C-alpha cells in the first residue's frame, strides 16, 4: 500500500502497493506520486487527521476526473513534405494521416504514414485541385475539381484509386467523412444543398435532407450514425441521422442561436453552438438536452471537430491566439496542445483524433513562425494505465480514523 504524507505527518493510505513498499513518503504541498499516470497531486489538508485523509482521497478522485491524464506528455511529429509550401492534416487513424499539401501552387489531396517522407499525392489525374478531409480504415474522402466541377471523392490509398461520388444531376458535391464502408457529405441539386450518404459509388447516393429543409450538410459518420447540420425553421441546427432523411434528430439546444455537429464516435457528437454571439465548442450524447458546453474559460471562440468517444479535439482562441485544443468531456478539462510544440508557432489547429486504447493520435497543423508557412502536425501520446483503477476498493479501504479496515 502506498501512503501519502499530509501536514503534521498524518498518514493516509491511498492504494497501490504493499506496506513494505510504503517507505518512500513525500510532504505536501505538493505531493509527488510515482504510480502510473499520477505524477503531481496537490492536497489541501483539513483540520483533523480523519479530515486530512478524506481530503487527500477526495483530491485524488478530483484529480483523476479533471482530465489530468489528458495532460500527459505528447510527442509532436512535423509531417510537412520536402518541397511543399503548405500542408495540413485533418484526419488520422493509427497508421495513416490525411489532408492536403500545396506543391507548385496546386492543392493536392494527401496521405501520410506517420512521417514527412511518407507523403503520398492522391490528386487524381486531370484534377485542378483536391483535398482530403477524413480517413478511416483504407478509405479517404474529400473533394476534387475535375472538368470544372467540385466532386465528392473517395480514395483507397493512391491517386489511381480515385472514385467520383458526384451524383447524377448534382452540380457540386463534397465528401466529409467515412466509416470505411460509407461516406457522408453534401450535394447540390438546383438551389438546394442536401446532406448526403454514399456507399462507395455515385449511384449509391442517399438524400439525408430533412423534409422542407432548404440547406443541409453531413460532416461525420461512425457506424450507422451520421451528423451535420440542417436549416429548419430558419435556424441552423446540429443534426443526427441513422441512414435516412426520416431518421433526422434535431440536436439544437435550447437557448442557442445556431448549432452544428462536425463528428460522431457513434455514442457522442461534437461541434459548435453560438450563444450570445460567441461560437462555443459543443458535445452531445444523442439528444439536444444532452448538450455540454466545452467553451474554455477566457476563450473568445471555440469549436470541437472530432471525438474518440472519450476525448474531443478542435480549436479555441485564448489570449488572442488560436490554439489546438483537447477536451475530456468538460470545459474545465481543456488542454492547450500548442504547449507541446517546440519552436515558435503563431496559430495551431487540431482536426482529428483516433485511439486504439494504447496510443492516441491527433491530427492538425499550425503556422510555423520560423519557416513562415503552415505545416502538418501529428500529436501522439501513449495512454497511461487507467487512473480510475487506483480507486478500486476505496469504499472499504478507509476507516473513520484513516486506517485500513481489518
The domain spans of the chain are 3-70+388-396, 77-384
DSSP state of 215: B
Query: How confident is the model at residue 47, as a pLDDT?
Result: 34
Asked whether 262 and 270 are in contact (CB, 8 A), the reply is yes
104 to 108, 122, 368, 377: CA distances (angstroms): 10, 15, 20, 21
The domain defined by 77-384 folds into Methylamine Dehydrogenase; Chain H (2.130.10)
CA distance 97 to 347: 20
pLDDT at 384: 80
Gap between the Cα atoms of 367 and 97, Å rounded? 18
The predicted structure's pLDDT at residue 71 = 55
Q: How far apart are CA 166 and CA 172, in angstroms?
A: 7
Pull the grid cell for residue 235.
435556424
What integer pLDDT is reported at residue 400 of this predicted model? 42
What count of Cα atoms within 13 Å lies in the side-chain half-sphere of residue 124? 24
Instruction: Provide DSSP, 86-124.
Output: EEEEEEE-SS-EEEEEEETTEEEEEEESSSGGG-EE-PP
Work out whether the CA dihedral 219, 173, 223, 247 comes out positive or negative.
positive
Residues in the chain: 406
Q: Write the secondary structure of 226-240 as one string of H (helix), E (strand) and C (coil).
A: EEEEEEECCEEEEEE
Neighbour tally for 214: CB within 10 Å: 13
Distances (CA, A) of 350 to 225, 231, 371: 23, 27, 20
183 - beta bridge partners?
Answer: 178, 198
Cell of 273: 453552438
Q: What is the 3-class SS of 368-397, one letter each residue? A: ECCCCEEEEEEEEEECCCCHHHHHCCHHHC
Q: What are phi and psi of 7, to 5 degrees?
A: -60, 150
CA-CA distance, 73 to 37, in Å (whole number)?
A: 10
DSSP secondary structure string for all residues of 302-324: EEEEEE-SS-EEEEEEETTEEEE
Q: Quick check: helix, strand or coil at residue 295? A: coil
The pLDDT assigned to 18 comes to 37
As a whole number of angstroms, the distance between CA 36 and CA 17 comes to 12
Specify the DSSP class assigned to residue 80: P
Q: What's the pLDDT at 385?
A: 74
| Of 110, 128, 115, 41, the residue nearest 77 (C-alpha) | 115
| CA–CA distance, 84 with 301 (Å, rounded to integer) | 30
Q: What pLDDT, on the 0 to 100 scale, is given for residue 70?
A: 55
Residue linked to cell 476507516:
399
**Structural contact between residues 260 and 272, judged by C-beta atoms closer than 8 angstroms:** yes
365 within 8 A of 87, measured Cβ to Cβ: yes
Beta bridge partners of 39: none
Tens-binned pLDDT, residue by residue, of the chain (406 aa): 333 333 333 344 433 433 333 333 233 333 333 333 333 333 333 333 344 444 454 444 444 444 555 556 899 999 999 999 999 999 999 889 999 999 999 999 999 999 999 999 999 999 999 999 999 999 999 999 999 999 999 999 999 999 999 999 999 999 999 999 999 999 999 999 999 999 999 999 999 999 999 999 999 999 999 999 999 999 999 999 999 999 999 999 999 999 999 999 999 999 999 999 999 999 999 999 999 999 999 999 999 999 999 999 999 999 999 999 999 999 999 999 999 999 999 999 999 999 999 999 999 999 999 999 999 999 999 988 765 444 444 444 344 443 333 3
Amino acid at each position: 500500500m502506498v501512503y501519502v504524507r499530509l501536514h503534521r505527518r498524518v498518514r493516509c493510505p491511498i492504494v497501490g502497493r504493499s506496506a513494505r513498499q510504503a517507505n518512500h513518503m513525500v510532504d505536501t504541498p505538493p505531493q509527488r506520486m510515482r504510480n502510473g499516470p499520477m505524477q503531481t497531486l496537490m492536497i489541501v489538508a483539513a483540520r483533523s487527521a480523519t479530515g486530512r485523509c478524506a481530503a487527500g482521497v477526495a483530491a485524488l478522485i478530483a484529480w483523476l476526473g479533471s482530465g489530468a491524464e489528458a495532460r500527459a506528455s505528447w510527442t509532436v511529429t512535423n509531417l510537412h513534405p520536402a518541397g511543399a509550401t503548405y500542408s495540413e492534416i485533418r484526419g488520422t487513424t493509427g497508421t495513416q494521416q490525411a489532408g492536403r499539401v500545396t506543391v507548385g501552387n496546386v492543392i493536392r489531396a494527401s496521405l501520410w504514414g506517420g512521417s514527412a517522407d511518407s507523403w503520398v499525392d492522391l490528386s487524381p489525374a486531370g484534377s485542378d485541385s483536391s483535398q482530403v478531409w477524413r480517413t478511416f480504415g483504407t478509405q479517404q474522402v474529400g473533394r476534387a475539381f475535375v472538368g470544372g466541377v467540385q466532386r465528392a471523392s473517395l480514395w483507397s490509398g493512391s491517386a489511381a484509386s480515385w472514385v467520383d461520388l458526384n451524383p447524377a444531376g448534382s452540380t457540386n458535391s463534397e465528401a466529409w467523412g467515412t466509416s470505411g464502408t460509407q461516406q457522408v457529405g453534401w450535394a447540390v441539386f438546383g438551389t438546394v444543398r442536401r446532406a448526403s450518404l454514399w456507399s462507395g459509388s455515385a449511384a449509391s447516393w442517399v438524400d439525408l435532407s430533412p423534409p422542407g429543409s432548404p440547406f443541409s450538410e453531413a460532416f461525420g459518420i461512425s457506424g450507422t450514425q451520421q451528423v451535420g447540420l440542417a436549416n429548419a425553421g430558419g435556424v441552423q441546427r446540429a443534426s443526427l441521422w441513422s441512414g435516412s432523411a426520416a431518421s433526422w434528430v434535431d440536436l439544437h439546444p435550447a437557448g442557442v442561436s445556431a448549432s452544428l455537429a462536425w463528428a460522431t464516435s457513434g455514442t457522442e457528437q461534437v461541434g459548435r453552438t453560438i450563444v450570445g454571439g460567441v461560437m462555443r465548442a459543443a458535445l452531445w450524447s444523442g439528444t439536444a438536452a444532452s448538450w455540454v458546453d466545452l467553451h474554455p474559460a477566457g476563450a473568445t471562440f471555440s469549436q470541437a471537430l472530432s471525438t474518440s468517444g472519450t476525448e474531443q479535439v478542435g480549436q479555441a482562441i485564448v489570449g488572442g491566439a488560436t490554439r489546438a485544443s483537447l477536451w475530456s468531456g468538460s470545459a474545465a478539462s481543456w488542454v492547450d496542445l500548442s504547449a507541446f510544440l517546440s519552436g515558435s508557432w503563431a496559430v495551431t489547429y487540431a482536426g482529428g483524433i483516433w485511439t486504439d486504447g494504447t496510443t492516441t493520435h491527433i491530427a492538425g497543423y499550425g503556422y510555423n513562425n520560423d519557416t513562415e508557412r503552415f505545416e502538418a502536425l501529428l500529436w501522439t501520446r501513449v495512454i497511461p494505465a487507467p487512473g480510475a483503477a487506483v480507486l478500486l476498493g476505496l469504499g472499504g479501504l478507509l476507516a473513520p480514523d484513516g486506517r485500513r479496515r481489518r
